Chains A and B, each alone.
Chain A
Amino acid sequence: MFKKVIAKSMAKSPWIYHVNTGSCNGCDIELVAVLTPRYDAERFGFKLAGTPRHADIVVVSGPITSQSKERLIRTLEQVPEPKCVVSIGSCPRSCNVFKGSYSVEGPLENFTHVDVSIAGCTPKPEAIIEGLYKAAEILAEKREAMNK
């Protein structure tokens, strides 16, 4: 019973930690817009956490710059299991217009497994909510997989 409750709660209360790895700030504003009264992601239990130790979902925005690469990896390491990585926007997917720059080391898949990738430059808030919701469901699956 306990396991079921936990797995269900896992999908209902995902806490987000947001890492900006050289984003132009467009996706960042959209992520904040998701929490505003108009879209209100908190109705699904989403909440911004202050530290990776509290987080379930790590949201990455921006092409991975060489300055931010190590910091990103370190932060991802410090998130307790089970965890999900979500990329927002085109940059972490393909490095977007920054591709080929001397200081860009993306895409994100080179460094970690990405569970959900939300496309767009920038993605609409509705898309972000849908992506995060999917990530929350993946969290519950990961939790159930851990039980076995």
Chain B
Amino acid sequence: MINFTHFPVIAVMGLFLCAFLVEIFGAKNKYIRNTIALVAAFGAFALIAALIKPVFVDGNVISYWMGNWTPVGGYAIGIGYEIDALNLFFALLVVTTVLLSGIYSVKYMERDHHLGHYYTLYLMLSGSVLGLVLTGDIFNMFVMIEIMTFASVALTAFRNNKLGALEGAFKYLIIGSVGSSLTLSGIALLYAQCHTLNMSQLSAALATGLSPTTILAFALMFAGFGVKSYIVPFHAPAADAYMAAPTSVSMLFSGMVNKAGVYGMIRLTYVIFRAMDLSSVQLLLVTLGTVTMFIGVTMALAQHNFKRLLAFHSISQIGYVITAIGLGTALGLSSGIFHAMNHTLFKGLLFLTAGAVLYATGTCDLDRLGGLSKRMPKTTICFLIGAFSISGLPPFNGFASKWMIYQSTFAKATETGNFGYAFATIVALVVSVMTLASFIKVTQAVFFGQLPENLKEVREVPLLMRIPMWIMSALCILSGVFYNFVAKYLLTPATNAAFNVTNYIDKMMGEGYAAANGITETAIGFSPLDLWNPVLWLILFAIVLISVCIVILTGEKERGRTLVKTDADPEDGKYATFFGGEASTHSHVGGSDLFWGFKHDFKGYFKFIQGMHSGVVNDYALWVVVATALITVFMFIFVR
């Protein structure tokens, strides 16, 4: 019998330890360096994956006290780790992202210098995010947030010879620090009020109701985690940071760093403050989420840089997640975390393809690329899978989670009779089409269309970079097709865990602790919906596809020669692009030319919103402060 309780802490410590080992032993030798980093990443993955069975299948909650400092007299003194299904769900996302990013980094980063520093920071970032989602102690969480912020800042500035790296890092530093300070102030207030830092004990202590002090703490921490998950209006530094960072790190940012913020938000609202049955908090989260997804996607439509466009899509997709978790229903929360997971998968995949394009061509500027599908066919396929996933085309995973989000928002609207939630559904559906539009723009500008003269010699990226892309693509398809399986074994336990606060407190603080403090909620028996069966659709799709192909192929013989030439002569004018009779020249419709009509009709809005994103960090800091003030006022007025 293996004792699973030590696994989480070993995973976190292992990552931190290897971060230093890399610098000590691997600064000169690249093989040692890569080995240490990959072993650490794989070790963390294996240790966390080993917890799937005890936590998800058997339904245990693992609690671990550092130094075996168990609670004395009902007060938690030591730092505790508590892993329930919700933690583990996010931890799995973290370790998967870390592992794939590690494999990708080996080739992707080989042209950079001082890779010892890179891997140190990379492992620090990974360890801190993993620690953040696994910990049961709110101050420990803050420490991890700090490590995460500073590792992120340093990694953003890693390619500091490139334009925008230092600028992005600076913005990230300022806004990130403001966010951390907000969180810290909230924690300090909570500590003063409740005399504890343990999350389960805090939850129990806050059961008696909120005082003005705790409401202020709630508002500050809410804003703090808002900054970490980059919801509007805290989103501004994300775009610069994601664009400037090396792509393997951008993937970490969108795959796990902002998921850590989402996780913190869920923990804060569902478990510590148990505020999700308040319609005011629901309204706040849904409003913020809806605004986030709309502003994110419209800003993405206006971008000219591949990675910056992806960054704004990260913001937009987090808007979906926040909207869904803000509904406060079991279906809403499960769709939210499902979308968080899918976002990790498809956005990671898209960042990897962006990295592949950057690696192969040296630029991410949509106006200077084109026609790469002829030179990089495998990357193109991966990109299309990612783009269809994020746009929510069936049968990919984005469809399943978005569909659950529509279902849950509209169900909420019909149940409560509140028209606002139906509005959220409509916005979500329209944003989904706009997402498709902006990925069509990337498809046309980067992969299809005509190949510029200077990119004729571009080569497909090496195998070691393609492997993570294939894995991500496979996961995107599998979690979409077998979504019932995902819902049953991952989402349902995680959702139930978030609602089952009693169990969370009792496992940490001892049986009966929750009841003694007046928390009597019992587990909810949420079970996933079984409405859409992608396998049936796929089978039908396959049957029709096969029959169409048979008809076409037999028809080919029957019809006589159809003359599909495969090895056409490149000089033959017959196979040249039609230019109204003119000779073929390079004429590529780039990204910025697309969607002219749309932009024309919304030019007032675009002018306003692009003016708002001034790039001045003072403005962004002002947004954060104003938004925090507004949230605080809102909470004081409406949260009871």
Please determine whether chains A and B interact with each other in the same assembly. yes
Point out residues on A near B: beta carbons under 8 Å: 1-3, 6, 19, 51-53, 68, 70-75, 77-78, 80-81, 146-147
26 A-B interface contacts by CB (under 8 A)? A2-B558, A2-B559, A3-B558, A3-B559, A3-B560, A6-B560, A19-B581, A51-B578, A68-B581, A70-B581, A70-B583, A71-B580, A72-B581, A74-B573, A74-B576, A74-B581, A74-B583, A75-B581, A77-B572, A77-B573, A78-B573, A78-B574, A78-B576, A78-B578, A80-B563, A146-B561
Let me know if B578 and A147 touch, CB within 8 A: no
Let me know if A71 and B581 touch, CB within 8 A: yes
Point out residues on B near A: beta carbons under 8 Å: 555, 558-561, 563, 572-574, 576, 578, 580-583
Q: How many angstroms between the C-alpha atoms of A77 and B563 in the bound complex?
A: 15
Q: Tell me the nearest residue of chain B to A5, going by C-beta.
A: B559
Q: How many angstroms between the C-alpha atoms of A71 and B555 in the bound complex?
A: 35
Q: Choose from B561, B563, B573, B582 the contact partner of A147 (Cβ within 8 Å).
A: B561
Inter-chain contacts of B583 with A (CB < 8 A): 70, 74
Q: How many angstroms between the C-alpha atoms of A57 and B94 in the bound complex?
A: 62
Let me know if B563 and A81 touch, CB within 8 A: yes
Kindly provide the distance from the CB of B578 to the nearest chain A CB, expressed in whole angstroms: 6
Q: How many angstroms between the C-alpha atoms of A72 and B583 in the bound complex?
A: 11
Let me know if B578 and A6 touch, CB within 8 A: no
Inter-chain contacts of A75 with B (CB < 8 A): 581
Q: How many angstroms between the C-alpha atoms of A75 and B582 in the bound complex?
A: 9
User: Which 5 pairs of residues, A with B, have the shortest CB-CB distance?
Assistant: A71-B581, A147-B560, A2-B558, A77-B573, A77-B574
Kindly provide the distance from the CB of B516 to the nearest chain A CB, expressed in whole angstroms: 79
| Given contact pairs A2-B558, A52-B578, A74-B581, a sample of 7 additional A-B residue pairs in the complex whose CB atoms are under 8 Å apart | A1-B558, A2-B555, A19-B581, A51-B578, A73-B573, A77-B573, A81-B563
Q: How many angstroms between the C-alpha atoms of A146 and B563 in the bound complex?
A: 10
Kindly provide the distance from the CB of A56 to the nearest chain B CB, expressed in whole angstroms: 14
Q: How many angstroms between the C-alpha atoms of A72 and B582 in the bound complex?
A: 9
Inter-chain contacts of A80 with B (CB < 8 A): 563
Inter-chain contacts of A77 with B (CB < 8 A): 572-574
Inter-chain contacts of A81 with B (CB < 8 A): 563
Inter-chain contacts of B555 with A (CB < 8 A): 2
Q: How many angstroms between the C-alpha atoms of A70 and B584 in the bound complex?
A: 12
Let me know if A71 and B582 touch, CB within 8 A: yes
Inter-chain contacts of B559 with A (CB < 8 A): 2-3, 6
Inter-chain contacts of B574 with A (CB < 8 A): 77-78
Q: Tell me the nearest residue of chain B to A82, going by C-beta.
A: B563
Inter-chain contacts of B582 with A (CB < 8 A): 71, 74
Kindly provide the distance from the CB of A129 to the nearest chain B CB, expressed in whole angstroms: 26
Q: How many angstroms between the C-alpha atoms of A2 and B557 in the bound complex?
A: 10
Q: Tell me the nearest residue of chain A to B577, going by C-beta.
A: A78
Kindly provide the distance from the CB of A121 to the nearest chain B CB, expressed in whole angstroms: 25
Inter-chain contacts of A19 with B (CB < 8 A): 581
Q: How many angstroms between the C-alpha atoms of A74 and B573 in the bound complex?
A: 6
Q: Tell me the nearest residue of chain B to A75, going by C-beta.
A: B581
Inter-chain contacts of A51 with B (CB < 8 A): 578
Inter-chain contacts of B573 with A (CB < 8 A): 73-74, 77-78
Q: How many angstroms between the C-alpha atoms of A72 and B563 in the bound complex?
A: 23
Q: How many angstroms between the C-alpha atoms of A141 and B558 in the bound complex?
A: 17
Q: Tell me the nearest residue of chain B to A1, going by C-beta.
A: B558
Inter-chain contacts of A78 with B (CB < 8 A): 573-574, 576, 578
Kindly provide the distance from the CB of A63 to the nearest chain B CB, expressed in whole angstroms: 17
Q: How many angstroms between the C-alpha atoms of A95 and B563 in the bound complex?
A: 35
Kindly provide the distance from the CB of B523 to the nearest chain A CB, expressed in whole angstroms: 64
Most buried by A among B555, B560, B582: B560
Inter-chain contacts of A73 with B (CB < 8 A): 573
Kindly provide the distance from the CB of B583 to the nearest chain A CB, expressed in whole angstroms: 7
Inter-chain contacts of B560 with A (CB < 8 A): 3, 6, 146-147
Q: How many angstroms between the C-alpha atoms of A19 and B583 in the bound complex?
A: 16
Q: How many angstroms between the C-alpha atoms of A68 and B581 in the bound complex?
A: 9
